[in-house]
Amino acid sequence: MQEAMKHPIGVFFSWAVALSTLLSFARDGVCAAVAPRRPNVLFIAIDDLNDWVGCLGGHPQARTPNLDRLAARGTVFLNAHVQSPLCNPSRASLLSGLRPSTTGIYGLAPGLRDVPATRDCVTLPQHFARHGYFTAGFGKVFHDGSIPPRFRTNELHVWGPAPGMPRRPKASVGTPGMHPLMDWAVFPEDDRDQADWKIADAAIAQLKSLPPGRPFFVAVGFRLPHVPCYASQKWFDQFPPEGQIVLPPVLDNDREDVPFFAWYLHWSLPEPRLTWLRKSGQWRPLVRAYLASTTFMDSQVGRVLDTLDSIGAAENTVVVLWSDNGWHLGEKGISGKNSLWERSTRVPLIFAGQGVAKGARCTQPAELLDLYPSLVELCGLSKQDGLEGHSLGPQLKDAQAPRPWPAITTHNAGNHSVRSEGWRYTRYADGSEELYDLRRDPNEWTNLVKRTELAGVVREHARWLPAVNTPPAAGSAHRVLTQTNGVWFWEGKAIQRAELEE
């Protein structure tokens, strides 16, 4: 008892698990009682992490030893993409198995259960619960606020703490608009004050106090490197001084062959543009802070993975790690996400564990939409009808296995980007287009869509564009683009080209 009192969070979750186990048996019925033991699932979500990961090679100074060791014992997808370059629609799509163009969820609101297309859908954790799994989530798994508290026990047996990011009394970076999240600095002094430390603590306590006799689905949602990019001094010290930080490659006239409509997808945002970062001398500080906060987050992933090993569950657990969208750090003249280019859509996706090839690297296109059917197949569950993704099972066994489907990213109604193994084709809602040869032009600097000899490539990719373009769901808000009587509106305000700040 004395030992237990030293760890009050462990005591709390032990009682919570005991109670939730009894309730879940009643709720899930006979299925929970008779289900054979299947592989566990450790479901790790990361917020706003692009390919600046050691095993992905996105930045030469990136340090992510724990993500790298997970990749070494599993399969890493080098060409994985989100369904939407924004938190809420990305997570709603993954967890429901439906595209944003199907549901109409494009903005930071409404939530998953507030939309007719997804109100009664069986989400990924619910499907596992129906097959006898104990389910728990910690941190940001669903988008913050998208599931009202009264409904949370319907989504997960245990809805654990999801602390927000620490806030400085005053932001250290005075970005345009002075948004409190748009900050990066050495902060806080103690890592235990970080949200990701607390999230890891809660997940670790849960893994050490699981209900006996049932497989588990434990989801852990880390917040960094989402802004504010904060990390203590020890993590900044792992990187060179600002003057030696490698900046991402940019082309000053990169927008010259890009449709002007591309600006509409990120018309007015708190994330600063490259012009401001350069003018204020904040480009290198932001890059260094992004790298440092990523490395700190990686350390917390390591704590959770170490716990999985310590409880003897690693061999019978499928681990999947993913990010909800990428992040620009100057490429295409912007920072943040909300674009249909590689920097915003491409994310880490790693599978490891039972049924997954070790040390494999797959270049076939993959979508986060594929996680639902892939995990169902890996764990031997019955299929869920209506899912729009496709199992990655063949690629998890053999990374060289061909895959007929491209990855499709949507940002607001009618704007889609199709990513194959070598190409990206984008069509905007006004009909304008882009085409990039990613094998020869990984920075997407040369738009080839007007090359007549590539018309066949355009047709091949265009045939994958979603046939359904559902209008924004009722209650849509924040980063939503709409059109009324030929006028385009960003967040309800008519777009005026003269307002574009270069």
Q: For the chain, what is the mean pLDDT?
A: 93
Q: Residue 37's pLDDT is what?
A: 79
CA distance 216 to 79: 29
Q: With 0-12 CB in 10 A as exposed, 13-18 as middle and 19+ as buried, what is 268?
A: middle
Beta-carbon contacts of 147 under 8 Å, excluding residues fewer than 6 positions away, are 111, 112, 113, 155
Pick from 226, 140, 133: nearest CA to 184: 226
Highest mean pLDDT among 15-19, 145-149, 218-222, 494-498: 218-222
Q: Rounded to 5 degrees, what angle do the CA atoms 309, 312, 314 make?
A: 55
Residue 33 or 313, more confident:
313
The CA angle 264-267-271, to the nearest 5 degrees, is 140
pLDDT digits (tens, 9 = 90+) for 163-199: 999 988 887 899 998 898 999 999 999 999 999 999 9
Q: Give the C-alpha separation, 134 to 21, whole Å.
A: 7
Report pLDDT for 500: 77
| SS3 per-residue string spanning 131-158 | CCCEEEEEECCCCCCCCCHHHHHHHCCE
* Helical ranges in 311-454 per DSSP H: 342-345, 371-378, 393-397
Neighbouring-strand partners of residue 408 = 418
Question: CA–CA separation, 207 vs 216, rounded Å?
Answer: 9
The class that CATH gives domain 2-412 is alpha beta
- Contact residues for 485 (Cβ-Cβ < 8 A; gap 6+): none
Q: What is the pTM of this model?
A: 0.92
Q: Give the residue extent of every domain in the chain.
A: 2-412
Contact 285, 8 (CB under 8 A): no
- Tell me if the bond preceding 228 is cis, omega within 30° of 0: yes
Nearest to 138 by CA among 65, 262, 42: 42
Question: Taking CA 151 as the corner, what is the angle to CA 146 and CA 155, rounded to the nearest 5 degrees?
Answer: 85
Beta-sheet pairing, 349-352 with 134-139 = unpaired
Lowest mean pLDDT of 15-24, 155-164, 232-241, 264-273, name the range. Answer: 15-24
Residue 46 main-chain phi, psi, to 5 deg: -125, 145
Residue 228 in this model has a pLDDT that exceeds 80? yes
| Virtual torsion, Cα 104, 110, 112, 118, nearest 10 deg | -40
Query: Are the beta carbons of 395 and 405 closer than 8 angstroms?
Result: no
Q: What is d(CA 215, CA 23) in angstroms, rounded to the nearest whole number?
A: 16
Q: Which phi and psi angles does 193 have, rounded to 5°?
A: -85, -10
Per-residue pLDDT band at 501 (split at 50, 70, 90): low
The token duo for 475 is: 């209650």
Nearby residues of 67 by Cβ (< 8 Å), 6 or more positions away: 53, 54, 55, 298, 301, 321, 348, 350
407 with 440: CB under 8 angstroms?
no
Rounded CA separation 269/259 (Å): 19
Cβ pair 232, 296 in contact under 8 A: yes
Q: What per-residue confidence (pLDDT) applies to 36?
A: 52
Residue with tokens 């000899």: 453
Look up residue 109 and give its DSSP letter. B
Distance of alpha carbon 254 from alpha carbon 144, whole angstroms? 34
CA distance 190 to 196: 12
CA–CA–CA angle 432, 436, 438 (5° rounding): 155
Lowest mean pLDDT among 34-48, 147-161, 475-489: 34-48
Report how far residue 431's alpha carbon sits from residue 329's, in angstroms, rounded to the nearest whole number: 28
In tens, the pLDDT along 297-308 reads 999 999 999 999
Nearest-angstrom CA–CA distance, 96 and 118: 7
Distance (Å, rounded) from C-alpha 126 to C-alpha 146? Answer: 16
User: Which residue reads 């009050």 in tokens?
Assistant: 8
How far separated are the first and last CA of the chain, in Å rounded?
63
Catalytic center residues: 87, 143
Q: What is the pLDDT of residues 7-25, one digit of tens each?
A: 444 434 444 444 444 444 4
